Structure 1
């Protein structure tokens, strides 16, 4: 296994040592999880015991013990000269997303700064949930079989009006309701991307998108992004030279940087993509998490006039992730293709969640205002804590989103995140958000949690950073 693959495996294993049990057992369980979920496929060669021990900052005996347990469970076979090879059959795997492992391991952490998805707007969501339970829509829906692969009519009508408000005329047959935005991404990648297709993504970008395209065997090419959006000069050259199948962007409240593409940048991206044959996938799942503005700008695709454009939305960020409601807006033919792919995995989402989401969308202005107040307060807490405890770190104040993108000079944040996990603080290191393992000295620090958790978490991280020294240095660390 190449050094880059070892580093990627170490990132996929993030948080493995937070589980209970002896270290070899924890590591074996984490590796088995990757095998059973398809992230390590049948025939993949595992790194040598020495190399994996170095990547995880553990003893070689820990890795030896883990490999022994995997061999005993028939997950791995070993031959002299060939190393250790995964032997699990794909028929017994449910291909999953190990980059999202922070959601599986966080229960063991006392302070969780791993999730960028804000908690629910309790009063607003409860109000509309009661209205659905007590109203006439739910009994009417229950008269049928409950399978709505395209989504219930009230939600698609609410989404149609939502896009009309954004300046995008939309029909019901251009909408597909999904179980969250992650299913939307998985459907798009599965139905429209083939092995070896080129997909352009921002660097950094949403980790779930990277993994969705990677599972399809796509060639993922990064485009650097900054406060005004992606590097349009490089984007123009890549579109011309590579003729990519797809371009994936997070133009509003970008995850993880919190940036918003400028008006000039949005116009330029639309001009560049129009007529190329490249599909623009515009992920607006976090678009309502604005810190300064009342409402998000119009979608980039609305400026294209023509061309292949798909946009994704979600109730998770602005309302509550537990609604498990996302959606896709595209041309009718694309929606039909995605619908056919969708019925192979499920027959629709929660009817109650969709009806609640439809009512919540009618109250979107109030939800945006509540989120804006929450995010402003959280950002002030985080900035005060950073100024007080970590002035050596650097960051740009975000325009949207629920997290800060912070640089820790001279630090290997993958190693630092593992060390923090052992101290009961969960954080996500920068390379997780890069298709090429970049941003090795960055962390994403969410600030939507209770102020005490944010302030205490940052203070403890800063103290740990000062004490960790060479243990988390990338070789260029300046001592504070």
Structure 2
């Protein structure tokens, strides 16, 4: 079995140092869990002591002690000159059905109270309008089974009207309601991709999309701004965030977005446009693109706990996706869908209030970074929820471990970049209140000042194919 790199293992270890107690015990505990859950199968070669220590920004003695402890337990085999590898699970181990090593999901699964969540982005609480919408929805519950695999008719119609009001004529039959935008991406990938197929993605991009591609054994085709060259490779589809890009916060000009859509159409490549953050552009609503597959959601404008998303596409594809969703869950929760119909009616006002709040917090985070971490560089965002920050030296993955030990969880750039680049970047959200942003930057500054790091790095360009 091929060995795992220190970067890959660091990603799977996630928040290993966030607990209390000696670091070697914390590291051994997390490695033990990965072995027992089947994420590190028998025969997996592990990084050398020095390589893993560098990747985790910790001392070599910590790694040596953790490895030795697991060797004594029979979970690892270690031989001088031959390396370290997994011996096997404990007898009572239960394999994990769906392992994931991406920190953005590990931070959701493991949330110690004393760690500030700077790895995830989204509204931190539901607005009053959300509660009002659920109260109203309770009065509109339908009789019958309540199964709507394609989505509740009222919500499908409301979403279609929303597109039409923004200049893109849409019928209810072009809408599939999903359990959040993440399920929308998963269903599309399942419908369009076979193992080994290439999918064109920006480098960097939304990490949840990369996880979906890994789950379906697809091959990410990393792209800079030159999507037209990528289309020559005939990927099965292309995934693009043109407005409020995650993670950079960049919005491409309308002409550039239309050129990408036209190039995709000419090449016969389906273009999946992620519009989940599009309502949060600081410059106001951006024109929608016809002839694309659009993914939307209420999670970023309203609240992540409202698991309502959707896909706008050709009715034939929508029918196929509805059949897949029926097998998956028979349809999203009716009460959530009915509440969403009320929220869509007020979405312009909700989005405007959210943008005003985010812009204030964006400016606050920018000011705090410039004052306390002046050697970190970034471009202000055009909208969305995150800044894409460059570290002047060192590796973002190892710094993320150092930050975790100071009580702040950040997402390192390599977890968002299929090209292998962005190793000098971290994604920082500006969704928290100003006081929490100030505290988080203070903790990051403390972590940075104590971080050994390496020499100054030269930024890696995005790969254009």
Normalised by the length of structure 1, the TM-score is: 0.85
**Does structure 2 conserve the Cα–Cα contact (< 8 Å) formed by 1:46 and 1:84?**
yes
Aligned mate of 2:287, from 279, 297, 305: 297
Pair 1:380 & 2:360 matched: no
**Does structure 2 conserve the Cα–Cα contact (< 8 Å) formed by 1:412 and 1:474?**
no
Aligned mates of 2:84, 2:361 — CA distance in 1: 49
The 3 A distance-change label for structure 1 pair 413 and 161 is same
SS in 2 for 1:322: coil
The 3 A distance-change label for structure 1 pair 85 and 169 is farther
Aligned-residue offset at 1:431: 1.1
SS in 2 for 1:385: helix
Aligned mate of 1:93, from 87, 92, 96: 96
Aligned-residue offset at 1:371: 0.6
Aligned mate of 1:466, from 445, 449, 452: 449
Counterpart for residue 248 of structure 2: 257
After superposition, give the CA deviation of every residue in 1:306-337 in whole Å (9 maximum; x if it has no partner): xxx32111110001111111111111222222
**Does structure 2 conserve the Cα–Cα contact (< 8 Å) formed by 1:19 and 1:108?**
no
Counterpart for residue 402 of structure 1: 385
Matches within 5 A, 1:229-248: 231-232=225-226, 235-240=227-232, 242-248=233-239
Aligned mates of 2:244, 2:393 — CA distance in 1: 27
After superposition, give the CA deviation of every residue in 1:394-435 in whole Å (9 maximum; x if it has no partner): 111111111211112113111111111111111111111111
Aligned mates of 1:215, 1:393 — CA distance in 2: 34
Matches within 5 A, 1:93-112: 93-99=96-102, 100-112=105-117
Normalised by the length of structure 2, the TM-score is: 0.88
Aligned mates of 1:375, 1:408 — CA distance in 2: 24
Higher deviation after alignment, 122-131 or 179-188: 122-131
**Does structure 1 conserve the Cα–Cα contact (< 8 Å) formed by 2:281 and 2:384?**
yes
Pair 1:47 & 2:37 matched: no
After superposition, give the CA deviation of every residue in 1:425-450 in whole Å (9 maximum; x if it has no partner): 11111111111331111111111101
Counterpart for residue 220 of structure 2: 220
Counterpart for residue 147 of structure 2: 147
After superposition, give the CA deviation of every residue in 1:248-268 in whole Å (9 maximum; x if it has no partner): 111111111111121110121
SS in 1 for 2:271: strand
Pair 1:329 & 2:312 matched: yes
The 3 A distance-change label for structure 1 pair 29 and 160 is farther
Aligned mates of 2:28, 2:261 — CA distance in 1: 47
Counterpart for residue 462 of structure 2: none
Aligned mates of 2:398, 2:41 — CA distance in 1: 28
After superposition, give the CA deviation of every residue in 1:88-124 in whole Å (9 maximum; x if it has no partner): 7x99433254312122233344432221112245122
Higher deviation after alignment, 28-37 or 152-161: 28-37
After superposition, give the CA deviation of every residue in 1:40-82 in whole Å (9 maximum; x if it has no partner): 375672424524344323523344156448855xxx8899969
Aligned mate of 1:283, from 274, 298, 309: 274
Aligned mates of 1:206, 1:54 — CA distance in 2: 26
Aligned-residue offset at 1:291: 2.0
**Does structure 2 conserve the Cα–Cα contact (< 8 Å) formed by 1:106 and 1:114?**
no
Aligned mates of 2:165, 2:306 — CA distance in 1: 23
**Does structure 1 conserve the Cα–Cα contact (< 8 Å) formed by 2:28 and 2:69?**
yes
The 3 A distance-change label for structure 1 pair 41 and 156 is farther
Aligned mates of 2:329, 2:409 — CA distance in 1: 33
Pair 1:391 & 2:371 matched: no
The 3 A distance-change label for structure 1 pair 361 and 55 is same
Aligned mates of 1:340, 1:44 — CA distance in 2: 40
Aligned mates of 1:439, 1:18 — CA distance in 2: 24
**Does structure 1 conserve the Cα–Cα contact (< 8 Å) formed by 2:54 and 2:398?**
no
**Does structure 1 conserve the Cα–Cα contact (< 8 Å) formed by 2:197 and 2:219?**
yes
Matches within 5 A, 1:111-190: 111-133=116-138, 135=139, 137-138=140-141, 140=142, 143-190=143-190
Aligned-residue offset at 1:2: 6.9
**Does structure 2 conserve the Cα–Cα contact (< 8 Å) formed by 1:200 and 1:221?**
yes
Task: Provide the aligned length of Structure 1 versus Structure 2.
Answer: 449
After superposition, give the CA deviation of every residue in 1:358-383 in whole Å (9 maximum; x if it has no partner): 11011011111111111111012112
The 3 A distance-change label for structure 1 pair 257 and 36 is farther
SS in 2 for 1:396: coil
The 3 A distance-change label for structure 1 pair 399 and 70 is farther
Aligned mates of 2:172, 2:396 — CA distance in 1: 45
The 3 A distance-change label for structure 1 pair 339 and 457 is same
The 3 A distance-change label for structure 1 pair 173 and 440 is same
Counterpart for residue 415 of structure 2: 432
**Does structure 2 conserve the Cα–Cα contact (< 8 Å) formed by 1:10 and 1:55?**
yes
Aligned mates of 1:165, 1:91 — CA distance in 2: 51
Aligned mates of 1:11, 1:473 — CA distance in 2: 19
Matches within 5 A, 1:347-386: 347-386=330-369
Aligned mates of 1:79, 1:175 — CA distance in 2: 58
SS in 2 for 1:339: helix
The 3 A distance-change label for structure 1 pair 82 and 18 is closer
Aligned-residue offset at 1:31: 4.5
After superposition, give the CA deviation of every residue in 1:116-140 in whole Å (9 maximum; x if it has no partner): 112245122122222223x3x12x2
C-alpha root-mean-square deviation of aligned residues, in Å? 2.9
